[in-house]
Structure 1
Amino acid sequence: MALSETGSRKTQWLLVLVLVMMAGLAATNIYLLFNQQQAAAPAEPVVENTVPDAGSPIFVRIDPFTVNLQGDAYSRNLLYTALWLQVDDIRTRDYLTTHMPQVRSQLLSLLSAQDVKLATAPDGKNILAAKIRDMLQTSLTTPPAVLSVSKVLFSEFIVQ
């Protein structure tokens, strides 16, 4: 009797093992079938939005940077900031993107010349934004290009 129970158990385990393997194979086949259908389906064309809608704003991102601010002789103040420039046309966006090293250099010079009191004043960000906008209205290159920057938006602004 012990031999028949052992044989019966082995058969049961063998049956379970075969069923698990068949389920795994079926799941693999289903996965591969769906994966092939997705690969065979024509991909939707990627359309770059080079010309925004008339009402869509155009933004240029200025990566974060840190500058020393002017202060009294005993303090060392830093400004950490990141900007977005809202421009009026694609030509200005392309110009700023192409000349980003000059833009960043001029921004660093302008902001490092600012006093810490201005940066921490209640209206300080607005004054700095106006100074940046005025700086960008004048061309960065020769011959001068007319740039159309409508807004300077701070996405990060920390004075320490």
Structure 2
Amino acid sequence: MAKDAKPAEEGAEVAPKKSKKLLIIILAVVLVVVLAGGGAAFMLLKKGDHEEGDEEVAEETAKPKKKDKKKDAHAAPVFVNLDPFTVNLVPETGDQYLQVILSLELEDAAADPQLKALTPKIRNNITLLLSSKKASELLPKEGKEKLAEALKEEINSVIEPPKKNKKGETTPSEGPVKAVLFTSFIIQ
């Protein structure tokens, strides 16, 4: 009987060892599944935060604030060269013409595509403005400075048309052109 009791006890000992191994395997599988789910959730949330951050950066880039413009004052200027203009001036002492080459100083490079898209209208308005001048108006330095300011206002009004307020008055809007520079100015 003693021999019979030992095998029964051995069988009892073997059964708990198997159930411990099975329990450890089940816990390991559950742990792996939980860790994998947690890792996937972390990656998805991290990816979602990155996308939101990218949208905020895109919004900030699309609409720069005036404060940012002051900070960018030390940035390198952006210049756009226009093709030469040759126009007849208003006659005073016979036929006279003006040949001028302009460079435009822009606030930032983002305005360049818009400027290029509106080039035909800008060239038309500049030609009309230049051909309405007399040589005697343009010869002194002050005349050239007034012309440069008038050209700047004309170009900015094409790019960003003036808006009307509630009273019906037009308020000029500041456009992307900071200055009009003459690279060549010939009157004959």
TM-score of the superposed pair, with normalisation by structure 1: 0.60
**Long gaps (5+) in structure 1:** 1-51
Among residues 77, 83, 94, which one is paired with 1:57 in the alignment? 77
Letter in 2 for 1:137: N
- 2:160–2:175 CA contact under 8 A, matched in 1: no
Cα distance in 2 between the residues matched to 1:143 and 1:116: 30
Cα distance in 1 between the residues matched to 2:157 and 2:118: 13
Aligned to 2:47: none
Cα distance in 1 between the residues matched to 2:154 and 2:112: 16
**Long gaps (5+) in structure 2:** 1-71, 164-172
Aligned to 1:115: 134
Aligned to 1:128: 147
- 1 or 2 for the larger relative contact order (CA 8 Å, sep ≥6)? 1
- 1:86–1:151 CA contact under 8 A, matched in 2: yes
Residue 79 (structure 1) shift: 0.3
Residue 84 (structure 1) shift: 0.2
Any idea what the Cα deviations from partners look like across 1:114-137, whole Å, max 9, x if unmatched?
A: 111111123221111011011122
- 1:137–1:146 CA contact under 8 A, matched in 2: yes
Residue 82 (structure 1) shift: 0.5
Cα distance in 1 between the residues matched to 2:119 and 2:175: 13
Aligned to 1:152: 180
Q: Please state if 1:104 is matched with 2:123.
A: yes
- 1:107–1:132 CA contact under 8 A, matched in 2: yes
With over 3 angstroms needed to count, the CA separation of the structure-2 counterparts of 1:146 and 1:63, relative to structure 1, is same
Cα distance in 2 between the residues matched to 1:55 and 1:82: 25
Letter in 2 for 1:66: T
Cα distance in 1 between the residues matched to 2:149 and 2:139: 16
Identity %: 30
Cα distance in 1 between the residues matched to 2:119 and 2:174: 16
Residue 71 (structure 1) shift: 2.6
Aligned to 2:4: none
Higher helix share: 2
- 1:88–1:148 CA contact under 8 A, matched in 2: yes
Cα distance in 1 between the residues matched to 2:161 and 2:146: 27
Any idea what the Cα deviations from partners look like across 1:7-32, whole Å, max 9, x if unmatched?
A: xxxxxxxxxxxxxxxxxxxxxxxxxx
The 3-state SS of whatever aligns with 1:126 is helix
Residue 155 (structure 1) shift: 0.6
Letter in 1 for 2:105: Q
